[in-house]
Structure 1
Amino acid sequence: METQKKKILILTADAGFGHRSASLAIQSAIEELFPARYQISLVNPLDNKKAPFFIKESQSEYDKWVRDVPELYKFGYDLSDSPIPVTILETILVVSLFEVINDVIEEHEPDIIINTYPLYQAPFVAVRSLHRLNIPMVTIVTDLATVHQIWFNDKVDWLVVPTEIVRNEAIEAGVKPANICVIGIPVNPRIFQLTESKQELRKSLGWNSDLTTILAVGSKRVEHFKVNLDILNHSGFPFQLTVVTGKDQRLYNELKEVDWHHETHLYEFVDQMPEFMHASDLLITKAGGLIVTEALASGLPMILIDVIPGQESGNAKFVKDGNAGFWTKNPNEFIQVLGHLFFNEKECLRQTTENAKNIGKPSSALKIAELIIHQLETSEFIFSPKVDFIHMIEDILVKNQIQWKKKT
């Protein structure tokens, strides 16, 4: 009789691209290291019909807020990034998402939960406490340096962080050091596995194999993207340009009408980003945690042209402090940095590339997968919540008329 496979549930969200990309990277790594041994489900709980409209829509509205009113977004981010506001926010999340998370757990019956979105932690802890569920949760932080305190729930079992900077922030917020693992942000395992040279990859992609290659990745979220592409187009430096517009069809169509003065390759969307990064010499993009991590894992230096106030500021600072790239705030700074990179036979570009390789973590997803399976197979997990905590959760739910029932 075939042994029933243990179940791994990965929770994600679609606020930006980073959470889902990190989730897919973990899923791919587990499937590669342990083929067909586990039943893996990747779920966005906010797709549940019970998810409140204001939280569900926050995924799509995220783009609008950070693009149209960045300073207001930063104000809200900073205001909520302290213990008392976080406690209030967690209470709101318990009330809003208790039934959603409960439904997801009942449907999938996981043996372990991997979480890449911070808003799920408090409601999960509430569900687990009330129903006495012995299900561990591993949370994966998806920003490199400046991390909102909502990520640091001290009742989650393991917290995977990308850097010592974030580890120290977590400890300061009350997470036990023994529950923190410094590994990295999970990136597509193909980044680690590619062995072809840049020239071989460029040839396979239909690019010029000998030209210095600039990869520009942007969409409606990236400020100054078109302006900086125009600067590249008229710069006169010797390179070919590859542009990916991140499913932004309008931008893609506009760029197809441009009279390009360099050899240029346009893509609306690609599923070969590891190959694109390894084939390139320089990345131009925004300071999202996932794309920055992928670039560093690929040894690809970058010019960051758009930084969301709050969490992305830390990503940009991490890259800058590691001398693995540049943060330009306007087109004048962009053209100056470009000149430095191509000056003196591109010596600055070569050194920045070496620095990116030194701080990149290409095998992070595989190491996270190994951690998850080790805990799943070797740890005897018994959750024993304190009685006063259970009473507090019960009181919150009753006062807000949230239906729940204890499992027998």
Structure 2
Amino acid sequence: MEALILSCSTGGGHNAAAKAVQDALSRQGHHAILLDPYSLQGQAVADKVGRFYVDFVRTVPRLFGVVYKLGEAYTKLQEHLPHHSPVYLFQRKTARMLKQYLEKSQPDVVVTTHVFAGEMLTMLRNEGMKLPPVIYIATDYTSIPFTQEVQADRYIVGHKDIVQSFVAAGLPEWKVLPYGIPVNEAFQSRMSRPDACRWLGLDPAKRHILLSGGSMGFGLDGMIRTLLPVLEEHPDTVLLVLTGSNEKLQKSIHEKYPSPQIRALGPTDQMPRYLQACQVLITKPGGLSTTEACVSQIPMVLVHPIPGVETINARFFESHTMARWARDPEQDLADILREVLADPAPMEQAQATLQSNAALRTASLCSSLVRRKG
């Protein structure tokens, strides 16, 4: 079976979910290509689209929240409007190039982890192109604006309790499958905490807190300052700060906080091991990062959600006892961290209920839909 997986680089989660499905298909003996459709116009265009989104969210998150609310309002009104959304119409040029790619490559199934690519496929279908089975994967814990415009054969969502948000948006309930959000199989491996520490060169005798700003690096310096009293109270605790590819930030943290209890980490491909080695993860509530943490069963404290979808993610995880949400990190992050360190068991037990095999189930669904069509 030949599979095409479409994603876009607006934050790291969409690509991570797409890669997880690609790997699962490969393990089942299929061939899967991962493509950013905007790269059909040149990699510079794909990079520009991704940069625009990331810069917009990072620099004016409140404005992004307003735009998200407008998208929600448009979604509610859309069935009464005669035209497709501006987001749909924006995809026209790339959709034409995607059509040429599909005609040449002839995949047996198409999976998309991004609404933009879903809109492109829908545009082609509306224009009369015969498409193979299409699977749309939602990478957040709600139906985001414009999802209802995506015409897919099946929709993979993160949890059974959010199915109705997709049905309310106008999707047929029988097409909405709560498989979970696909994550790399490495997050499912069960390495003991001491072994994970030794793997990473960490001291197994110490407690480790992992602080992440996600792929966009939100508010790390301020959170470090907030957590200094906790580190002073617990000299056996080390704060590991993920700075990603931001070398300037990594250097700044090294210089500003020379304490051996604070370590700034650069880019890493060992995220599964860090989640297994640490006692608590402090992170913004991206759909993928929170799912990876739950699959790894590491207690979470959520901070700095992007207004809109990540606020909904935070609310979901908090309401299901899978995380705590520090709504005002400067005031409540330290106290919440103390509470989680003192009693992590309820959170770990709740996290164990989240589906962890979504990538394999999605790969099997691809095969099933192709066989059914054949």
Contact 2:18 2:34 in 1 (8 A): yes
364, 371, 380: which is aligned to 2:373?
A: 380
Cα displacement (A) at 1:349: 2.5
Whole-angstrom CA distance in 2 between matches of 1:322 and 1:234: 29
Whole-angstrom CA distance in 2 between matches of 1:219 and 1:143: 14
CA RMSD of aligned residues (A): 2.3
Q: How many equivalent pairs are there?
A: 364
Deviates more, 1:248-257 or 1:133-142: 248-257
Structure 1 position 102 matched with structure 2 position 99: yes
Unaligned runs of 5+ in 1: 1-5, 382-408
Whole-angstrom CA distance in 1 between matches of 2:268 and 2:26: 22
Structure 1 position 189 matched with structure 2 position 185: yes
Contact 1:186 1:364 in 2 (8 A): yes
The residue aligned with 1:156 is: 152
Relative to structure 1, the CA distance from residue 284 to residue 188 in structure 2 (aligned partners, 3 Å threshold; closer, same or farther) is: same
Contact 1:154 1:174 in 2 (8 A): no
Cα displacement (A) at 1:117: 0.6
Cα deviations by residue, 1:36-60 (Å, 9 ceiling, x for unpaired):
x32211000111227996x863421
255, 266, 286: which is aligned to 1:257?
A: 255
SS in 2 for 1:336: helix
Contact 1:51 1:100 in 2 (8 A): no
Whole-angstrom CA distance in 2 between matches of 1:220 and 1:8: 27
Larger Rg: 1
Whole-angstrom CA distance in 1 between matches of 2:130 and 2:65: 37
Whole-angstrom CA distance in 1 between matches of 2:43 and 2:261: 47
297, 313, 322: which is aligned to 2:295?
A: 297
1:162 partner amino acid: G
Relative to structure 1, the CA distance from residue 51 to residue 94 in structure 2 (aligned partners, 3 Å threshold; closer, same or farther) is: farther
Cα deviations by residue, 1:123-142 (Å, 9 ceiling, x for unpaired):
21232344542411100000
Whole-angstrom CA distance in 2 between matches of 1:70 and 1:134: 37
The residue aligned with 1:136 is: 133
Cα displacement (A) at 1:169: 1.6
Higher helix share: 2
364, 367, 371: which is aligned to 2:365?
A: 371
350, 353, 357: which is aligned to 2:345?
A: 350
259, 264, 267: which is aligned to 1:266?
A: 264
Cα displacement (A) at 1:216: 1.2
Cα deviations by residue, 1:95-118 (Å, 9 ceiling, x for unpaired):
343213213313422111010110
2:170 partner amino acid: G
Whole-angstrom CA distance in 2 between matches of 1:241 and 1:128: 50
Whole-angstrom CA distance in 1 between matches of 2:116 and 2:325: 29
The residue aligned with 2:167 is: 171
Whole-angstrom CA distance in 2 between matches of 1:255 and 1:338: 21
1:363 partner amino acid: N
Cα displacement (A) at 1:265: 4.0
The residue aligned with 1:93 is: 90
Cα displacement (A) at 1:151: 1.8
TM-score (norm 2): 0.90
Structure 1 position 122 matched with structure 2 position 131: no
Cα displacement (A) at 1:339: 2.8
Structure 1 position 334 matched with structure 2 position 343: no
288, 307, 312: which is aligned to 1:314?
A: 312
The residue aligned with 1:27 is: 22
TM-score (norm 1): 0.82
SS in 2 for 1:207: coil
